[in-house]
């Protein structure tokens, strides 16, 4: 059974991005857009962990946290743009288990989720983040790229981009979508960043196999094509 995470966040872009990353990690996700709906969803969904924004309509995060704590010991990680020490202290005193300030790196948040779940005894089995194709191994646990039997030195962001594309073969991704999903919502670069990383990956992968390739879909974006 998948570990369940409730996201209480009124910014739809952030909530959708978190859902995307969590579902890729095999979490079951529920989203609520205000504090009142968040408390209702908590009682209905019965999550294993709550990601809780502080600045919420209807009922703020502190109040939601206190209400949850009155009912359960479910782990809570607070997400907020507020970074002052007193806000962190208030959140932790309300019953939160951890606190992360926006903007944040998604990988850091995932690590914090694992740490909190580990402490609570609810950590799911670790996924094997390893994709295997003809003459190609993308291993995200060790951040190693093996091409035709040889380990190829590859920067982390190139690894993340390749893994993201290869996780859903033949799906076309727009450049803006790749920026959001690989670089994160807080990244302010332009789409040429994606083009540069694709070019570098092609230099490592071009002509290795006739069973897969990195393809440009003109006017749209890129895909990892498997034939």
One domain for residues 12 and 116: yes
Whether 125 maps to a domain, the answer reads no
> Does 51 reside within a domain?
yes
Domain C-terminal end among 66, 99, 120: 120
d(CA 160, CA 104): 17
- Return d(Cα 34, Cα 38) in angstroms, integer: 6
pLDDT attached to residue 106: 79
pLDDT averaged over every residue in the chain:
87
Q: Does 144 share its domain with 190?
A: yes
**112 lies in the same domain as 148:** no
44 with 114, same domain: the answer is: yes
Residue 187 is part of which domain span?
130-226
What is the reported pLDDT for 46?
94
98 and 141 housed in the same domain: no
Domain boundary among 120, 145, 165: 120
Domain count, the chain: 2
Checking if the pLDDT of 216 tops 80, the result is yes
Phi and psi of 145, rounded to 5°? -110, 120
Residues 114 and 146 in one domain: no
Domain shared by 139 and 104, yes or no: no
Whether 84 and 171 share a structural domain: no
Q: Whole-angstrom Cα distance, residue 113 to residue 191?
A: 30
The confidence score (pLDDT) of residue 185 equals: 54
Same domain, 61 and 24: yes
Residue 194, preceding peptide bond in cis (omega within 30° of 0): no
- The tokens describing 157, both together, are 């962001």
97/152 same-domain check = no
Instruction: Give the residues across from 119 on adjacent strands.
Output: none
107 pLDDT more than 80: no
Same domain assignment for residues 76 and 135 = no
Q: Could you say which DSSP state residue 130 is in?
A: E
Of 124, 119, 125, nearest in space to 74 by CA? 119
Residue 172's pLDDT band, with cuts at 50, 70 and 90, is: very high
Residue 58 is assigned to a structural domain of this protein: yes
Tokens of 28: 């079951």
Please indicate, yes or no, if residue 65 is contained in any of the structural domains.
yes
Residue 9 and residue 111 in one domain: yes
Q: What is the pLDDT of residues 25-46, one digit of tens each?
A: 888 999 999 999 999 999 999 9
């Amino acid at each position: 059974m998948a570990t369940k995470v409730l996201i209480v966040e009124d910014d739809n872009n952030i909530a959708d991005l978190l859902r995307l990353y969590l579902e890729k990690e095999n979490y079951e996700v529920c989203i609520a857009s205000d504090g009142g709906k968040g408390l209702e969803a908590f009682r209905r969904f019965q999550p294993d962990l709550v990601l809780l924004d502080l600045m919420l309509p209807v009922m703020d995060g502190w109040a939601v946290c206190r209400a949850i704590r009155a009912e359960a010991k479910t782990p809570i990680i607070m997400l907020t743009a507020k970074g002052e020490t007193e806000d962190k202290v208030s959140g932790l005193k309300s019953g939160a288990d951890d606190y992360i300030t926006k903007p944040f790196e998604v990988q850091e948040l995932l690590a914090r989720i694992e740490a909190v779940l580990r402490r609570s005894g609810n950590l799911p089995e670790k996924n094997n983040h390893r994709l295997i194709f003809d003459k190609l191994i993308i291993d995200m646990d060790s951040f190693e790229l093996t091409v035709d039997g040889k380990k190829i030195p590859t920067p982390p962001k190139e690894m993340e981009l390749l893994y993201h594309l290869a996780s859903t073969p033949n799906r076309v991704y727009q450049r803006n979508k790749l920026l959001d999903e690989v670089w994160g919502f807080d990244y302010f670069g332009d789409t040429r960043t994606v083009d540069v990383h694709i070019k570098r990956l092609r230099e490592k992968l071009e002509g290795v196999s006739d069973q897969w390739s990195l393809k440009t879909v003109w006017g749209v974006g890129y895909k990892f094509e498997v034939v």
